[in-house]
Structure 1
């Protein structure tokens, strides 16, 4: 018998973003860079602020499948710094993805946006972040990305 996987919600990362910079068509898709300029982390037992540096490095494939790789950090309310490397994909109907690119609102339920965040920190209190696997369910808005982070049990 195969063991079942379960998840538990642990916190939400809201990353504020700036204007998109495009490096253009790189042959395998369009390379985009989206600066991360701040935000917040809220959850049971972990709260803090997203630090104002880092970026999401994306490739938009010809099928509009978007591959994401964000690198940034947050500081907890008690002073620990946590580095985040978050890879994932975003996909949905082309017309809705075009609306998102223009900064127009789209119901997040209509877009598949999942990530696999990894965390690094030297703070003993938060070492559990490095000792577990996490998945994220995310939503893109005009000025921010909201990621609900779940621990895989």
Structure 2
């Protein structure tokens, strides 16, 4: 028997494109500079296919160094009316001028900034239940009106 833990790997799992509504800037709260970005739709493709329902959001905290703590929660529904709850947590960071360009909604090469997420899934659908037995991480891109990410299952 080995005493060394297995080295994790990554398997591509699914792609997400979340369409965003108008940013709500709540200003500086006790937690920090709070921004809320509504999630108004989108889709998921890969291990499962689903449409993202309106009503979710990204509850962001803008750090003093310009980085953003990401905290999203939203629902997706399959064609068979199965629901999935997705929650992401992560960080978007980079050089100040790049972060400012993103905040202004300008297109930025995604290699110029860091945008990584942990992805948590919940579902009551028996056919999708195995998704809840894995960890997922993602690499994301911020566009003016949407976020795209590729999620990987940690093996």
TM-score, normalised on structure 2? 0.94
The residue aligned with 1:71 is: 73
8 Å contact from structure 1 (residues 60, 66) kept in 2: yes
Q: How many pairs align?
A: 152
Cα root mean square deviation, aligned: 1.1
Contact 2:135 2:154 survives alignment (8 Å): yes
CA distance in 2, matches of 1:94, 1:6: 32
CA distance in 2, matches of 1:129, 1:136: 15
Runs of at least 4 residues off by over 3 Å = none
The alpha-carbon deviation at position 109 of structure 1 amounts to 1.4
Gapped runs of 5+ residues in structure 1? none
Q: Partners in 2 of 1:56 and 1:105 — Cα distance? A: 20
Task: Name 1:20's counterpart in structure 2.
Answer: 23
Return 5+ residue gaps in structure 2 as ranges. Answer: none
1:124 corresponds to 2:126:
yes
Q: Secondary structure of the equivalent of 1:40? A: strand
Q: Give SS of 1:105's match.
A: coil
Q: Secondary structure at the match of 2:124?
A: coil
Aligned-partner Cα distance in 1 for 2:147–2:102? 11
Whether the 8 Å contact between 1:15 and 1:50 is mirrored in structure 2 is: yes
Which residue pairs with 1:29 in the alignment?
A: 32
Return the offset for 1:2: 4.3
Larger-Rg structure: 2
